[in-house]
Structure 1
Amino acid sequence: METILNILQKFSNIPQESLERFVRKLQETNIPKGGFLIREGEICDRLSFIQKGFVRSYYFKDNKDITISFSMQGEFIASMASFISQKPSYETIEALEHCHLYQISYQDLMDLFEKDSHLEHLYRLILEQYYVALEEHLIFSKFKTAKERYLELMENQPHIIQKAAVGQIASYLDMSLETLSRIRASI
């Protein structure tokens, strides 16, 4: 619980009382390797903080799973479109290793917002961070060569290369497994 408090304190000058109010609403849970935080078609009703573990988000298209993102210790994770809209998710979030999570329900979060505007501000900052990461990945995947994408991943997020399957990495980088294999062989 201390880790999440430390991370939240880095976001902004949120009063300690507000942070503690938020933390009191968190529920601790564990998801085994291969388990799911949410599956396609379910409504995402929880925002999760990864205390320990590694997950990937993906969706299916033409009977292929397409990796959208990876998240790890110290990060928030949810099917954001589903969480915000409270409509069924198009994505699945799978634990790639055992995960220790702290979660808050959508309803508890909305109740906190009504009582504490500082927490609404904190949530906005979390969403901004999520949006920036999403936009960077979009630019990353559309405007760089396959080799540049792989080299940047090696430099900026080596934990993904160490923990994810090669096929998942290729999908995340928007390239075929063959292309990724050629790139890895040339480095």
Structure 2
Amino acid sequence: MKQSSGLFENITTVSEAARLAFISKLEEIKADKGFKMEHEGQVSNYLYYISEGSARSFYIRENRDITVSFSLEGEFVTAMHSFITRKPSYETIETLEKSLLYRISHSELQACFEEYPEMERAYRIILEKYFIALEEQRIFNKFKSARDRYLELMDNKPKIIQKASVGQIASFLDMTIETLSRIRAKI
């Protein structure tokens, strides 16, 4: 894995032995655009690291495709509720482009925690980042105007504007395609 150091760049308390053990359990996946990493209705068995590429999480309700989140290079992604609770997922996760992914199964991750307890702290840090992003997204959609939501996306994750479809972006920002088109025309 050529970018293995990126996995722990912000986590300095992981020993070299733990880092190497974790990396040895990773499975490399070269995925085409549209590769389904996780499926709604199935238990999420893997935690993914996006080495190259991007992904989106979404669900379908009343024949509407609703984008929940986007993930980019250097980020971990899974259907977190399902991965933790071992219950079926509410969402599907798919790649937005050709991607290089690394994944570890739930059982292999638990084995890492047993052998290297400091890995649990690294995992907690990953979870904290996930939940902070989730809470920011909830606040982002509830209290900001459509224009402000789009501008914030441009500031925080500009690559999404290039990688996702207009419909996916509009869904993520909780607006219609027409509203998004009007906003983009004025910027």
Normalising by the smaller structure, the TM-score range is over 0.9
Residue pairs, 1:29-178, within 5 angstroms: 29-178=29-178
Aligned residues: 187
Query: How much has 1:4 moved relative to structure 2?
Result: 3.0
State the Cα deviation string for residues 66-107 of structure 1 (Å, max 9, x = none): 100111111101000111111111100111101111110000
- Would you say the 8 A contact 2:25–2:108 is kept in 1? yes
Whole-angstrom CA distance in 1 between matches of 2:84 and 2:48: 14
Q: Contact (CA 8 Å) 2:6, 2:74: kept in 1 or not?
A: no
SS in 1 for 2:13: coil
Q: Distance in 2 between matches of 1:185 and 1:163?
A: 19
CA shift, 1:44, in A, is 0.8
2:113 maps to amino acid: F
Deviations 1:92-125 (A, max 9, x none): 0111101111110000111111111101111111
Deviations 1:127-170 (A, max 9, x none): 01111111111111111000001111112211011111000000
| SS of aligned partner of 2:168 | helix
| TM value normalised by structure 1 | 0.96
Q: CA RMSD in A?
A: 1.1
**Structure 1 segments of 4+ aligned residues over 6 angstroms from their partners:** none
Contact 1:66 1:171 in 2 (8 A): yes
How many Å separate the matches in 2 of 1:6 and 1:177? 35
Structure 2 distance, partners of 1:6, 1:42, is 29
Cα distance between partner residues in 2 of 1:108 and 1:169: 34
Q: Name stretches of at least 5 consecutive residues in structure 1 with no aligned partner.
A: none
| Residue identity opposite 1:175 in structure 2 | M
